[in-house]
Amino acid sequence: MDELDPVIHASARLRITASLAALDPGDRIAFPRLQELLGMTAGNLSTHLRKLEDADYVRVEKTHQGRTPVTYLNLTPAGRAAFETYTEQLRSLLGGELA
Amino acid sequence: MTQHDDPDRDAAGEAPLDPREMLALIQGETTTVRRALGAQTPVYYFVWGIAWLVGYLVYWAGAPGSDSPITLPIVPAVIVFAALIVAAAAISTVVGIRSNRGIKGTSQWVGTIYGLSWPVMGIAIGMIGMGLIRQGMSIELATIYFTSSYALMVTALYLAGAAIWRSIDQLVIGLIIGVAATVTPSFGYPNNLLAMALIAGPALLAGGVIAIIRNRRA
Indicate whether A99 pLDDT > 50. no
B1, B33, B37, best to mutate vs chain A, most A CBs in 10 Å = B33
- Report the range of poorest mean pLDDT among B67-76, B126-135, B151-160: B67-76
Nearest residue on chain A to B34, alpha-carbon basis = A22
Task: Report if residue A96 sits inside a domain.
Answer: no
Q: Give the per-residue pLDDT at A50.
A: 96
Indicate whether B6 pLDDT > 60. no
Task: Report if residue A4 sits inside a domain.
Answer: no
Task: Report if residue A15 sits inside a domain.
Answer: no
Task: Report if residue A33 sits inside a domain.
Answer: yes
ipTM for the predicted complex:
0.87
Instruction: Kindly report the backbone phi and psi dihedral angles of residue A5, in degrees, each rounded to the nearest multiple of 5, phi listed first.
Output: -60, 115
Which residues of chain A from 64 to 83 reach within 8 Å of chain B, CB to CB? Answer: 72, 74
Domain CATH code at residue A83: 1.10.10.10
Indicate whether B190 pLDDT > 90. yes
CA A30 from centroid of its chain's CA atoms: 13
Indicate whether B116 pLDDT > 60. yes
Closest CA to B210 of B41, B35, B36, B37: B41
- In contact, B39 and B173? CB cutoff 8 Å: no
**How many other CB atoms are found less than 10 A from the CB of residue B80?**
18
Task: Report if residue A47 sits inside a domain.
Answer: yes
pLDDT digits (tens, 9 = 90+) for B31-80: 999 888 888 889 999 999 999 999 999 999 999 999 999 999 999 999 99
For β-strands A68-75 and A58-65, DSSP reports them as antiparallel
The number of folded domains in chain A is 1
| Alpha carbon distance B178, B172 (integer Å) | 10
- DSSP of chain B, one letter per residue? ----S-HHHHHH--S---HHHHHHHHHHHHHHHHHHHHTTHHHHHHHHHHHHHHHHHHHHHHSTT---SS---HHHHHHHHHHHHHHHHHHHHHHHHHHTTTEEEHHHHHHHHHHHHHHHHHHHHHHHHHHHHHTT--HHHHHHHHHHHHHHHHHHHHHHHHHHHT-HHHHHHHHHHHHHHHHGGGG-TTHHHHHHHHHHHHHHHHHHHHHHHHHHH-
At B73, the amino acid letter reads P
Task: Report if residue A7 sits inside a domain.
Answer: no
Flag if B33 and A22 touch (Cβ within 8 Å). yes
Indicate whether B94 pLDDT > 80. yes
- Report the range of poorest mean pLDDT among A40-49, B10-19, B118-127: B10-19
Q: Give the per-residue pLDDT at B2.
A: 43
Q: Give the per-residue pLDDT at B18.
A: 86
- pLDDT band (50, 70, 90) for residue B12: low
Angle at B76 between CA B75 and CA B81, to 5 degrees: 100
Task: Report if residue A16 sits inside a domain.
Answer: no
* Residues of B contacting chain A (CB within 8 angstroms): 1-2, 4, 10-17, 19-26, 28-30, 32-34, 36-37, 101-108
- DSSP of chain A, one letter per residue? -PPP-TTT-SHHHHHHHHHHHTS-TTEEEEHHHHHHHHT--HHHHHHHHHHHHHTTSEEEEEEEETTEEEEEEEE-HHHHHHHHHHHHHHHHHTTTTT-
Q: What residue numbers bound the domain in which A52 lies?
A: 28-87
Flag if B19 and A39 touch (Cβ within 8 Å). no
pLDDT digits (tens, 9 = 90+) for A17-74: 999 999 999 999 999 999 999 999 999 999 999 999 999 999 999 999 888 999 999 9
